Amino acid sequence: MPPPGPIPQRPYLLRAMHAWISDNGQTPHVVVDAAVEGVEVPGQYVNDGRIVLNISHDAVANLDIGNDFLRFQARFSGTPYRISVPLRAVLGIYAQESGRGMIFTEEEAAVAPEEPAPEPGGGAVPGGRKPRLKVVK
């Protein structure tokens, strides 16, 4: 049975960007809003309400980028931590070496379509409006 509403894009985009950055031999880092409820990170490494986490396969163990949470085990100054981050708290992902990546907006967190999808085979949205595309930066 399909889920009750549309599945959020953020987990898919995060997994895809992680794979792309890793496949290019670079180091994926995520920027996390540490103030979001449910974020479990070492507080002493939070700066201005945010924390940057290296999520390369070399830096973490048991990496799980699920549909709701980013979870893994990592060491900070030699001390092991279990990291758990709701995906709505992930602000972006980028490659440390090049800075290339993706910043997420609230739209990827809260999936509420602005307009109904066009009918298959039809070029116009009901009501005579033209379909719109959105640039993802």
- What domains sit in the chain, N to C, each tagged with a CATH number? 10-109 (2.30.30.220)
The confidence score (pLDDT) of residue 41 equals: 97
Which strands, in side-by-side order, build the sheet including 50-54? Answer: 50-54, 28-33, 90-95, 101-103
pLDDT at 15 over 60: yes
Eight-class DSSP state of 126 = T
Place of tokens 């987990």: 11
The confidence score (pLDDT) of residue 125 equals: 46
Closest CA to 84 of 112, 57, 62: 62
Confidence of residue 103 (pLDDT cuts 50, 70, 90): very high
CB 9 within 8 A of CB 54: no
pLDDT 10s digits, 71-102: 999 999 999 999 999 999 999 999 999 999 99
Looking at the chain, which runs of residues are DSSP E strands?
A: 28-33, 50-54, 60-65, 69-76, 79-86, 90-95, 101-103
CA distance 90 to 87: 5
Give the β-pairing of 101-103 and 50-54: unpaired
